[in-house]
Amino acid sequence: MTTMKSLVIAEPKKMIWATRERPAPAAGEALIKIIAAGICGTDIHAWAGNQPFFSYPRVLGHELCGEVVALGEGATGVEPGQRVALIPYISCLRCDACQSGKTNCCEQISVIGVHQDGGFCEYLAVPAGNLLQVEEVAPEAAALIEPFAISAHAVRRASVGADEDVLVVGAGPIGLGVAAIAAAAGANVVVADTSEFRRAHVAKELGLAAIDPARDDFYDALRAQFNGRLALKVLDATGSPAAMNNAVNLMRHGGTVVYVGLHKGDLVIPDSEFHKKETTLMGSRNATREDFNRVRDLMASGQLRAAMMLNAHFAFTTLAESFEPQVINNRELIKGVIHFDR
């Protein structure tokens, strides 16, 4: 029996090392050796015990880059030795959403690393059809294709085009991805965030204007960026009810609001502004293969860089010990990547 090392979240706030049997790929599956893994907000919520639809024990990790080492019977699309990124969403392909091409919001969706064991381990068997070849992308960037793909899906939902005035609210990983991808589409992008540290990151790594929405003159500052007007499109990546409720006030007449961040409670939107502006309001969830392909191509061309959201690195071998002090308690963490021994 060949074994491997796995990091298991046994219960809230308790991570333990476990030695498990290395999986063998079933029919249609590929076995990948993990090279790099991103740390997501979902992982942090699961550690804290407040991730919905989550059960323990669980191996976290859904933002993954690996190398194909073996194929199960009938697996196609990838070959041993190829570097790949994971599309972690397992869709039923039968529900109305799947049948209409919206596999990202499948009624029965299961996410690797959330609803089933993920990649905070040395090897993982996954459906071969959920892998994306990333030979031209560095491993630490490839591990971030999934969060960037969520951002790309939101930008596509908003139909962001060249020269449009776009406001991104929230400079967390998803907001940063939205801003970078909207800018790559040629939009005029401004980011709003209350954190001075994150605004500085936007300016340094994305080269975009960043404004504090808590400023008394925020609306004046915003209009100054857009030639005296409000944003045509507002993409909110905060998950904050206060910010989401206010999004329609940041948009000009005839504009669009897209909620990328998730708030588990109710929202209260000012209907007078909503109707007066004939607002288009939509949600954006997960991503499709089209979005993953788009991100891979933008990374390969240099238009997207890992450093646009990545600002911390961790070793898998010491992650159980470092997770609480260096991830949970790190107020300046935007996005971290775990590196595995090769």
Per residue, the 3-state secondary structure of 243-258, as one string, reads HHHHHHHHEEEEEEEE
Name the CATH architecture for the domain at 150-283: 3-Layer(aba) Sandwich (3.40)
- Residue 224: pLDDT band by 50, 70, 90 thresholds? very high
Per residue in 226-282, pLDDT (tens digit) is 999 999 999 999 999 999 999 999 999 999 999 999 888 899 999 999 999 999 999
Q: What is the pLDDT of residue 267?
A: 95
Peptide bond into 57 cis (omega under 30): yes
Query: Mean pLDDT throughout 69-75?
Result: 98
- Residue 1: pLDDT band by 50, 70, 90 thresholds? low
Q: What is the spatial distance between Cα 66 and Cα 33, in angstroms, rounded to a whole number?
A: 5
The structure tokens 């030639």 sit at 227
Bridge pairing between strands 89-90 and 165-169: unpaired
Which amino acid does the sequence have at 255? G
Tokens of 174: 């998803």
Q: What is the spatial distance between Cα 176 and Cα 75, in angstroms, rounded to a whole number?
A: 35
- Nearest residue to 91 via CA among 130, 147, 149, 42: 130
HSE (side-chain half, CA atoms, 13 Å) at 24: 5
Per residue in 153-195, pLDDT (tens digit) is 999 999 999 999 999 999 999 999 999 999 999 999 999 999 9
Q: What is the pLDDT of residue 264?
A: 84
Alpha-carbon separation of residue 87 from 143, 272, 286, 293 (angstroms): 10, 41, 10, 10
User: What does the domain layout of the chain look like in residue ranges?
Assistant: 3-144+310-339, 150-283
Centre a 10 Å sphere on the Cβ of residue 325 and count the other Cβ atoms it contains.
9
Helix/strand/coil for 240: coil
Q: Which CATH superfamily is domain 3-144+310-339 in?
A: Medium-chain alcohol dehydrogenases, catalytic domain (3.90.180.10)
pTM for the complete prediction? 0.97
Query: Mean pLDDT throughout 302-323?
Result: 97
Tokens of 88: 């972690």
User: How much is the mean pLDDT over the chain?
Assistant: 97
Which amino acid does the sequence have at 135? E
**Phi, psi dihedral angles at 237 (to 5 degrees):** -115, 25
Query: Mean pLDDT throughout 61-87?
Result: 98
Tokens of 158: 């908003």
Examine the pLDDT at 84 and tell me if it is beyond 90.
yes
Q: What is the spatial distance between Cα 206 and Cα 212, in angstroms, rounded to a whole number?
A: 16
